[in-house]
């Protein structure tokens, strides 16, 4: 069905198509058809289960932040076979984000460029929605970003305000200081700026707490961030966000658009960063970037990722992707003689 719909969706602007898909998921989520999705796309096998940062994941495949910014369709996403999802990024203030168009497909590269700018309903609304609406029986993370209007000096309190509105509703919380689409945000990845934010959130009781890193950090800066996460007692690291780099191999007409690049061109770089982080710490790593097949997910798992996340892969592969990856992982585990996904984590380190 998706193969038939894909050409029609790709005739629409990328953000318009995304909104249409979310509206469909919202409709399904409110009907008994939700159970049908779960039966069609779910893959139940204890070999896929993973324990990480105090959470039990029925399978290692999750939806990355950005797909469901306002926590509107978490149950529908879980019904597509995902073992967890991350909503947001959520900011203290409601934000419209950057002017449209701000999302661009690169079909020749199986990639997307976005400069959304943390558009979301704001912490008060999203927090209320998370507390009042039913959530799925898989871990739900909340990605927390900085309001565009908040100065670097005010950033710790800005993040804390958002956390306090969503506290208790999520199963884990991710500090986003690595989006390229909020001016000055990535500057907070320096040790001093990051420590102030993380310490304030820890004081507020944020747990489990993870930090999401940029693929554009140097290895030295990445190592500093990992060391800080360990020193402060964080629960995990998400590697990685989108990149502002543009590989020479890109062919899509929108390759020069400003924003963060995601999808297949980021795949190998993201895997290397997962490997680098996992080799330096025993903290669980969430692997993100270019996951669009079982082989992609398995490579990141063997590189040290306990679980993986995807978003752009859904654009190109459609709603059966989590199902296909989980079925494929079972085949790969059999091929390599692993009893479970957990046994394969870090096998290549």
Annotation: binding site? 65-69, 89, 114-118, 143, 176, 181, 212, 240-242, 263, 290, 311-312
What is the widest separation between alpha-carbon atoms in the chain? 52
Helix (H) or strand (E) holding 307: strand 305-310
179 classed as catalytic = yes
HSE, side-chain direction, 13 A CA sphere, residue 287: 33
User: Which listed residue (147, 178, 179, 293) is catalytic?
Assistant: 179
- Spatial separation of the C-alpha atoms in residues 36 and 28, rounded to whole Å: 10
Q: Do 82 and 322 form a contact (C-beta atoms < 8 A)?
A: yes
Q: Which two tokens stand for residue 246?
A: 């543009």
Q: Which two tokens stand for residue 117?
A: 């700018």
Query: What is the chain's alpha carbon radius of gyration, rounded to the nearest angstrom?
Result: 19
- Spatial separation of the C-alpha atoms in residues 254 and 196, rounded to whole Å: 37
Binding site per annotation, positions for FMN: 65-69, 89, 143, 176, 212, 240, 263, 290, 311-312
Binding site per annotation, positions for substrate: 69, 114-118, 176, 181, 241-242
* DSSP structure string for 85-107: EEEEEE-SS-B--SPSP-EEEEG
**Degrees, nearest 5: CA angle 256-258-259:** 120
Burial class (CB in 10 A: 0-12, 13-18, 19+), 79: buried
Q: Do 163 and 204 form a contact (C-beta atoms < 8 A)?
A: yes
- Spatial separation of the C-alpha atoms in residues 344 and 332, rounded to whole Å: 10
Q: Which residues are catalytic?
A: 179
């Amino acid at each position: 069905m998706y193969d038939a719909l894909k050409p029609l969706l790709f005739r629409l602007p990328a953000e318009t198509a995304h909104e249409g898909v979310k509206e469909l998921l919202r409709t399904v989520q409110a009907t008994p058809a939700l159970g049908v999705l779960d039966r069609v796309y779910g893959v139940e096998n204890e070999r896929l289960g993973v324990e990480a940062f105090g959470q039990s994941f029925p399978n290692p495949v999750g939806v990355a932040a950005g797909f469901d910014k306002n926590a509107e369709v978490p149950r529908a996403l879980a019904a597509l076979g995902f073992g967890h999802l991350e909503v947001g990024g959520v900011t203290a203030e409601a934000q419209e984000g950057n002017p449209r168009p701000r999302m661009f497909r690169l079909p020749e590269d199986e990639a997307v460029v976005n400069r959304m700018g943390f558009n979301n309903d704001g912490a008060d609304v999203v927090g209320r929605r998370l507390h009042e609406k039913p959530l799925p029986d898989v871990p739900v993370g909340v990605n927390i970003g900085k309001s565009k209007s908040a100065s670097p000096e005010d950033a710790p309190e800005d993040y804390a305000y958002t956390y306090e509105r969503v506290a208790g509703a999520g199963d884990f919380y991710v500090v986003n200081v690595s989006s390229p689409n909020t001016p000055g945000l990535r500057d907070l990845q320096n040790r001093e700026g990051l420590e102030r934010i993380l310490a304030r959130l820890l004081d507020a009781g944020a747990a489990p707490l993870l930090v999401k890193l940029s693929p554009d950090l140097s290895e030295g800066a990445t190592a500093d961030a990992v060391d800080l996460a360990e020193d402060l007692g964080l629960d995990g690291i998400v590697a990685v966000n989108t990149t502002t780099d543009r590989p020479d191999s890109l062919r899509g007409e929108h390759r020069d658009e400003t924003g963060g690049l995601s999808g297949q061109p980021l795949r190998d770089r993201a895997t290397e960063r997962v490997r680098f982080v996992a080799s330096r710490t025993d903290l669980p790593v969430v692997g993100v970037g270019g996951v669009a097949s079982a082989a992609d997910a398995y490579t990141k798992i063997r590189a040290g990722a306990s679980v993986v996340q995807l978003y752009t892969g859904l654009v190109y592969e459609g709603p059966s992707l989590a199902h296909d990856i989980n079925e494929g992982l079972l085949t790969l585990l059999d091929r390599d003689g692993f009893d479970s996904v957990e046994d394969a984590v870090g096998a290549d380190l």
